[in-house]
Each structure stands twice: as structure tokens, then as C-alpha cells.
Amino acid sequence: MTLPVMGLHRPILTRALLLALTFMLSSPVYAQAVDALTTSAGNFKRDRSIAVLDRLHPEFDPQGINLGSFVLLPKVDVTARGTDNLYATDSDRRSDVAGVVDPSFKLNSNWSRNWVTLAGDAAITRYADHGSENVETYDVNGAGQYDIDSQSYVRGFVDYGRLAERRSDVGTPNNTVTPIRYNSLNAIGTAQWQSSRFKLVASGGVNQLRYSDNVTFAGAPASQGYRDRNSYRGTARGEYALTPDVSLLVQGTASFQRYTQNNQSAFNRNSDRQELLGGISMELTQLVRAEAGVGYIHLTYKQPGLQGFSGIGARAQVQFFPSQLTTVSLKASRTIEDSGLPTAPSYVRSLVALQVDHELLRNLILSGSAQYSNNDFNLQARQEHRPEFFARAIYTLDRHFSLTARYDHIESHAQPFGLGGKTFALNQLTLTLSARI
């Protein structure tokens, strides 16, 4: 869906942009996310209603520190988190609580034309009883845009992080002593040209993942080098406006996965994939905003004789605005994702998600979400069904402090059992105090 990124004030612009860019390179829904980075104006503008989570609250928004042509926005999150299934297993469930300290900053330009932004964060997690789960992570990223004219531009983004996988993530081993650490490097460039009836967007990027070795609970080495890979993606998208509220779109994506240590796998997992979608983007009065595309996805492996995948690909995102205080979002997709597993390097993911956000008070936002995904692994006869739910309340005290309470429930059901899939259920409760300037 086209998001009004450039129509937002700078703090929200930066958050939306960086999340979208990270999303582009870390997920096969890359093509859809490309559009989230585009500036929509004229016949492509979709902003009659503003989603609850995107609405500005000038009386609560942090003002930051003015540094001339830049504004510095420092922030610190302090979180208490508890879970009833620390290792995300179906047996020997372990409960624990953890404290997390997460300082971060954003440095945004305040120029009238063009812009740059720099952001970074670090998180230190400490558990009360299971010190093996303690992790330290960090991430730093920068982005910039050069405006060719009011509707055309070129934009770039670079991100580097030292991160850790969650025990519940698809593809992460479930028998290692500590969570898997990895380094992630993302770089992407985007260009847009727009006229009164046409909008063209081209984007290309690279994602590099490097995993650290680990040890199993039995004391055996758990090498992770087989998961190291480079991903290259390119997307081209065109839109034609039939009316100011409706446009037709076509979008093509090509991506290439290259593993650095195929000698640790039973076969060459390098692959090429293509996706072609056609669809519609529209805004029906102030009540509904939607984008949907259906097409074809094709995956081939470099090793001769290895069966790839061909089939229907689809993406849809709909937002309902029953009132200015409530936003209902529905998402559905069918995509190919990377697992990095030596015997099942990719899987077809079918997903549907529903989220409701409600502004109960000017300073209190309630959210609830339900999501279901089915992961059908390629080259291996197994599936994982994953229902997930969360409920969240964000209470803003003033410009400087806010409280967030969140409950998550995650399940995974592997069929058949015993092929390396994950079967578990976990509950997690977090409470976060945020301090900002």
C-alpha cells in the first residue's frame, strides 16, 4: 500500500522510512515495501484518512535538541519482560524474566529541500535465571534523499547491525546453548519519477548475512557458516492513474540468493527468483484505502535437477477507517521466503493478518492483532502453522515519557513432527518505560 511517508513530520517520517527500508531487505515482500518508500502526490495520493499510529500529536511529540540544520532525538527504553517458554520448545518449558536497556538516537536534517538522517540503537538484555540467553545488540543506519523536483527523487539507505535471533524464529536452531548471533548489512537505492498520470519507481539493494558459530546443549559444535549468504534484489514498478482515487499497477522483482559455504550443505542452494504482479491501488472515500496485486512467482536452484517452485503470488493490504479514532488493517500475502536451512533453504509463506488500533484518549492508544501463517518448505515434506496474537497499550505521559504494555502469544505446529520443524506455544508480557527529549 502506498504510505504517505513524505507527508509526515520528520520524526514519524524517519521511523516509517527506516522500518520500511529494513523490511525491504529482510523479507521477500520486498516489492511491496518499495512502494512504501515512494512519495505519493497528485493522482497517487492516498491520505484522506490518517491511520491511528501515524497521526501527529504535537502536544506529545518530542522536540529534540536543535543543532542548527539538524535535530537530535535521543531516547532510552527500559523494559521488563517475562516469558513462560524461554527456549520455544514443546517440552521442558522454562520461565524467566529479563530486563532490557535500549538507548537510541535519531539525527534528522530540517532542510526545506532534500534530507538526510542518521539513527542508531543498542540493546542490553539480562535474564534473571538463564544467563545463557543474555544478549547485546546494536544497529546503525543512515538515509538520504535528493529531490529532482517536487515529485521525483533519488534516495539511498545503508544499515549495519549486530543482532540475535529469537528462539521462536523460523529456521533458527532449537538446540544451541545461546541464541544465534549474526551480522546484517543492508544497502539500497531508490529512484522515482512521477507525472500527472504515471508513476515509475526503480529500486535495487543487497543484504549480507553472516552468522556466528555456536555449541549444542550436548557440547557439540554448531557451525552456522552454512547460513551465510548474500541477497541481491531489484524491483521496477509502474502505476497509471485512472482517476485521482484509483490507479492500475504492475510490478516486477528479480532476486538472487548466493550462499558462501555451499560445501556444508548436501546441495547447491544458490537460487534465482522472479515475481510479476498486476493489481490496483485505490482510496474509496475516507473509509477504505487498499492495494492488491496478483501474479506469478518462480524460483530455480543453480544445481541441475533440483526442483524449484512456480505458482501464484499475491499481496493485499486494506485499511478501514470506521472513525477518526479507529483503524482496521487487513494484510494477506503469498510469497517465497529464505530459511537458510541446509535441506530446506526456502519456503512458501501464506499469511493473513488483522490489526485494530484505537485511540481511546489523546494519550492512550490500544492495539490488537491476530495473524496466521502457513510455511510450506521447499525440498522437504513439512509445514509449519503459526498463529500469533498480541495486545498492546501505549500511554503517553508527556513529551518526555511514555509507558507501553504488551502481551504476545505465539504458536508453531510442525507437520510431520521430527523433521527439524518447531512445535511450541509461548506467552510473553512486556512493560516498557520510554524517556526522550
* Residue-level pLDDT at 265: 63
Average pLDDT over residues 229-250: 95
Percentage of the residues of the chain whose pLDDT score is greater than 70: 88
More confident residue, 176 or 307: 176
pLDDT digits (tens, 9 = 90+) for 296-347: 999 998 888 778 889 999 999 999 999 999 999 999 999 988 876 777 788 8
Task: Report which listed range, 227-231, 258-262, 354-358, is most confident.
Answer: 354-358
* Residue-level pLDDT at 18: 37
R_g of the chain computed on alpha carbons: 22
What mean pLDDT is reported for the chain? 88
Residues in the chain: 437
End-to-end CA distance of the chain: 32
Confidence of residue 417 (pLDDT cuts 50, 70, 90): low
Q: What residues have CB less than 8 Å from 16, skipping those under 6 apart?
A: 3, 5, 8, 36, 54
* Residue-level pLDDT at 15: 37
pLDDT digits (tens, 9 = 90+) for 191-224: 999 998 999 999 999 999 999 999 999 999 999 9
Confidence of residue 72 (pLDDT cuts 50, 70, 90): very high
Residue 293 scores a pLDDT above 80: yes
Confidence of residue 35 (pLDDT cuts 50, 70, 90): very low
CATH number of 213's domain:
2.40.160
pLDDT digits (tens, 9 = 90+) for 84-93: 999 999 988 9
Residue labelled with grid coordinates 527456549: 87
pLDDT digits (tens, 9 = 90+) for 266-292: 678 899 999 999 999 999 888 999 999
DSSP 25-70: HHSSTHHHHHHHTS---GGG---SS--GGG---TTTS---EE-SSE
Domain total of the chain: 1
How far is C-alpha 179 from the chain's CA centre?
Answer: 20
Domain that holds residue 63: 5-436
More confident residue, 143 or 56: 143
Confidence of residue 171 (pLDDT cuts 50, 70, 90): confident
* Residue-level pLDDT at 16: 38
* Residue-level pLDDT at 17: 40
Helix (H, G, I), strand (E, B) or coil at 249: strand
Average pLDDT over residues 366-388: 91
* Residue-level pLDDT at 143: 97
* Residue-level pLDDT at 395: 98
Residue 22 scores a pLDDT above 80: no
Average pLDDT over residues 22-32: 36
* Residue-level pLDDT at 374: 95
- When mean pLDDT is compared across 147-151, 199-203, 380-384, the lowest value belongs to 380-384
pTM, rounded to two decimals: 0.85
